[in-house]
Amino acid sequence: MSDLDKAIAQLRACRPIPEAQVRELCHKARELLIEEGNVVTVAAPVTICGDIHGQFHDLMELFRVGGDPPDTNYLFMGDFVDRGFYSLESFLLLLCLKVRYPDRMTLIRGNHESRQITTVYGFYDECVRKYGSANVWRYCCDVFDYLALGAIVLGASNTLSPPNEHISSEDYADADIEIEVCNADGDIMSRFQRRDNEQRSPNGAGASAGSKTGPPGSGASGSSGGSTGNPTGAVLCVHGGLSPLIDTVDKIRLLDRKQEVPHEGAMCDLLWSDPDEIDGWGLSPRGAGFLFGADIVKVFNHRNDLSLIARAHQLVMEGFKEMFDASIVTVWSAPNYCYRCGNVAAVLELSEGGGGESILARSNGDVGRSDGGMRGVMMESDSAPKNGPARRYRVFQAAPQDSRGMPAKKPVADYFL
Amino acid sequence: MAAPSIPNLLSLRGSRGGGRGRGSRRGGPPGGSAASGPGHDTTIQGTDTDASVSRLSAVDMGYLDDPYAQYFVQNQMGPATRRLPIINRALDRLIDAFLSSELGPEAGRKQIVSLGAGTDTRCFRLFSRNNVTGLIYHEVDFPTISSKKRQIVQSTPALRNTIAPDPRKLSATLPRARLGAAPAYRMTASTGLQSDIPTLLVSECCLCYLQTSLGKDVIKHFTEQMQDLSIIIYEPVKPEDPFGKQMVANLAARRIHMPTLEMYREPADQETRLTEAGFQTSKAMTVEAIWKQWVSPEEKERVDELEGLDEVEEWNLLADHYVVAWGWRGNGFQAWDDI
One-character DSSP codes across A37-64: -SEEEEESSEEEE-B-TT-HHHHHHHHH
Residue B74, pLDDT > 50, answer yes
Binned at pLDDT 50, 70 and 90, residue B161 comes out as confident
- Is A220 buried (19+), middle (13-18) or exposed (0-12) by CB count in 10 A? exposed
Is pLDDT larger for residue A202 or for residue B164?
B164
Beta-strand pair B229-236/B199-204? parallel
What rounded mean pLDDT belongs to chain B?
A: 71
DSSP state of B210: S
Closest chain B residue to the Cα of A79, Cα to Cα: B310
With the CA atoms of A284, A285, A289 and A291 taken in that order, what torsion angle do they form, in degrees rounded to the nearest 10? -30
B8 touches chain A (CB under 8 A): yes
CA distances, A243 to each of A77, A246, B5, B305 (Å): 17, 5, 30, 19
Beta-strand pair A306-311/A290-292? unpaired
Cα B3 to Cα B9: distance, rounded to the nearest angstrom:
14
Beta-strand pair A150-154/A234-238? antiparallel
- Cβ distance B250 to A111 less than 8 Å, yes or no, reads no
State pLDDT tens for residues A240-260.
Answer: 999 999 999 999 999 999 999
In chain B, which among 142-181 make CB contacts under 8 A with chain A? none
**Residue B1 resides in a domain:** no
Beta-strand pair B322-329/B229-236? antiparallel
**Residue B273 resides in a domain:** yes
**Residue B3 resides in a domain:** no
**Residue B2 resides in a domain:** no
Q: Are A52 and A60 in contact (CB under 8 A)?
A: no
State pLDDT tens for residues B249-270.
Answer: 988 988 888 999 999 999 999 9
Cα A311 to Cα B1: distance, rounded to the nearest angstrom:
28
Mean pLDDT (whole number) for A160-182: 82
**Residue B108 resides in a domain:** yes
- Is B188 buried (19+), middle (13-18) or exposed (0-12) by CB count in 10 A? exposed
User: Could you give phi then psi for residue B257, rounded to 5 degrees?
Assistant: -130, 130
What's the whole-model pTM score? 0.79
Residue-number span of the structural domain to which B91 is assigned: 11-338
**Residue B6 resides in a domain:** no
Cα B60 to Cα B50: distance, rounded to the nearest angstrom:
15
CATH code, domain with B148: 3.40.50.150
Residue B78, pLDDT > 60, answer no
**Looking at the annotation, which residues of A are catalytic?**
112
Residues in chain B within 8 Å Cβ distance of A122: 7-9
Write the single-letter amino acid at A135.
N
**Residue B5 resides in a domain:** no
- The number of C-beta contacts closer than 8 angstroms across A and B is 122
DSSP state of A122: S
pLDDT at position B87 is 53
Domains of chain B: total: 1
- Is B192 buried (19+), middle (13-18) or exposed (0-12) by CB count in 10 A? middle
Write the single-letter amino acid at B128.
S
- Is A107 buried (19+), middle (13-18) or exposed (0-12) by CB count in 10 A? buried
Most A CBs within 10 A among B12, B250, B260, hence the mutation to make, goes to: B250
Beta-strand pair A177-182/A74-76? unpaired
Cα A231 to Cα A115: distance, rounded to the nearest angstrom:
39
Cα B185 to Cα B178: distance, rounded to the nearest angstrom:
7
B305 touches chain A (CB under 8 A): yes
Count each helix (H run) and each strand (E run) in chain B, helices first.
Answer: 12, 7
Q: Where are the beta strands (DSSP E) in A104-233?
A: 105-107, 150-154, 177-182, 188-193
DSSP state of B238: -
Q: Is the peptide bond before A70 cis (omega within 30 degrees of 0)?
A: yes
Closest chain A residue to the Cα of B51, Cα to Cα: A417
**Residue B296 resides in a domain:** yes
Complex ipTM: 0.78
Binned at pLDDT 50, 70 and 90, residue A366 comes out as very low
State pLDDT tens for residues B282-335.
Answer: 999 998 888 888 877 887 777 766 655 667 888 889 889 999 899 999 888 877
State pLDDT tens for residues A303-328.
Answer: 999 999 999 999 999 999 999 999 99
State pLDDT tens for residues B204-223.
Answer: 888 888 888 888 988 998 99
- Cβ distance B250 to A338 less than 8 Å, yes or no, reads no
Nearest CB to A342: which of B242, B256, B304?
B242
pLDDT at position A361 is 37
